[in-house]
Amino acid sequence: MTLDELESAINEWLSQGATDIFLSEDQRTRVRINGEVVPVNDSTMSRQDLIRLWEACEIDPASANEIDSRYQMKNGGYIRANLYRAMGNLSAAIRPIKAIIPPLDSLGLPTDLIRHWIHRRSGLILVTGTTGSGKSTTLASALEELNESRQSHIITLEDPIEYLFQNKKSFFSQRELNSDTAKFSTALRASLRQNPDVIMIGEIRDEETAQIAVRAAMTGHLVITTVHANNPIGSLKRLLNLNVDATLLSDCLLGVFSQRLVRLYCEKCGSQSVMSAAHTSKAQATLKGCDHCFNTGFQSRKPVMSHILIDTSNKRLLEGAISDLDFQDSMTDEAQTLHQQNRIPLSEVIKLESL
Ligand SMILES: [Zn+2]
């Protein structure tokens, strides 16, 4: 396989909805589609195929063991390739760096709520959700809306960069952990001297970052960040555990939302899935699928969301009985509706409830 052939195969898989591509010598190529890793065909990659890719990324296959690399394809698109060895075999985990950011309205989320938050001039917006919950896309779409509507300086601190912003009305400083800065906390502290209006922090992981983020939100910046937790209440507890002052937090917090993705049936074979036992099975069952959906039965995913809006009564509660916060657990309701509409199996609803 030449490099051109590999690039066109990568583009083809990405256009079919693959979010990750896994290549390894003597192995079938697999892609992650709607969260599941599936083989794309029966052919295997040769060592020479992998050597070509490593060399195109300017990495010496003879000496490197694992390394992150950014690579521009001939069509102009960028991919991130983590090149590594597995039992001596050259391998690559590939993910696109996306230049096309979906409009907020296209995501199927309650956009009024998100707009109400992101058009504020200062304050803190928290987003929770696990890896692969689609929260990076939501954040990118929200920032792109600011880019199109507001003349501002937007600093992003990311690990890794997933979307490339083009400066429109706003000016972006996109900074990546490891390649542009060693630590989120150092970059965040420095960002306050870079005169931003909006700061997006990929994730708050430590006390120092949490404290500076709150201080920035208190001093005329809009701060948007993610906190690793299962639900909005959990993310607030996590911040308090990082010794963020509850009074300061309640003063600057605009809202919290959590997001998950549910898998929608494939358009081509969905009716056959609805007829099968898997549709009403509580445990995840295998669907027959078709060529159109890599035999998974699912074609795309839709975000569902729960949130806490910080109003006067929730502000008071935030400083005391945090578990009593008025928390709109709408994601399960929405998933149940999708199941009743025969668009998702019951197991997708159960998956949300079990978190
Ligand atoms: Zn299908």
Q: How confident is the model at residue 111 (pLDDT cuts 50, 70, 90)?
A: confident
Q: What is the pLDDT of residue 84?
A: 97
Average confidence (pLDDT) over 124-128: 94
Average confidence (pLDDT) over 142-157: 96
Residue scoring higher pLDDT (160 or 224): 224
Average pLDDT, the chain: 91
**Tens-place pLDDT, residues 196-220:** 999 999 999 999 999 999 999 999 9
% of the chain at pLDDT higher than 70: 98
Q: What is the pLDDT of residue 17?
A: 85
Q: What is the pLDDT of residue 182?
A: 92
pTM of the model: 0.87
CA of 78 to the centre of ligand 1 (A): 29
Average confidence (pLDDT) over 225-244: 89
CA of 17 to the centre of ligand 1 (A): 13
Average confidence (pLDDT) over 70-82: 90
CA of 267 to the centre of ligand 1 (A): 7
CA of 348 to the centre of ligand 1 (A): 17
CA of 209 to the centre of ligand 1 (A): 44
Q: What is the pLDDT of residue 327?
A: 74
φ and ψ at residue 122, rounded to 5 degrees: -150, 165
Q: Is the pLDDT of residue 228 over 90?
A: no
CA of 97 to the centre of ligand 1 (A): 27
Average confidence (pLDDT) over 257-283: 93
Q: How confident is the model at residue 70 (pLDDT cuts 50, 70, 90)?
A: confident
Average confidence (pLDDT) over 282-307: 89
CA of 3 to the centre of ligand 1 (A): 30
φ and ψ at residue 130, rounded to 5 degrees: -80, 175
CA of 344 to the centre of ligand 1 (A): 13
Q: Are the CB atoms for 153 and 322 separated by under 8 Å?
A: no
Distance from the Cα of residue 206 to its chain's centroid: 20
CA of 299 to the centre of ligand 1 (A): 7
CA of 265 to the centre of ligand 1 (A): 7
φ and ψ at residue 151, rounded to 5 degrees: -90, 100
Q: Is the pLDDT of residue 324 over 80?
A: no
Average confidence (pLDDT) over 67-75: 89
Give the DSSP letter of residue 266: P
**Tens-place pLDDT, residues 177-196:** 988 999 999 999 999 999 99
Q: Are the CB atoms for 138 and 260 separated by under 8 Å?
A: no
CB burial of residue 349 (10 Å; 0-12, 13-18, 19+): buried
CA of 279 to the centre of ligand 1 (A): 14
CA of 109 to the centre of ligand 1 (A): 25
CA of 296 to the centre of ligand 1 (A): 7
CA of 96 to the centre of ligand 1 (A): 24
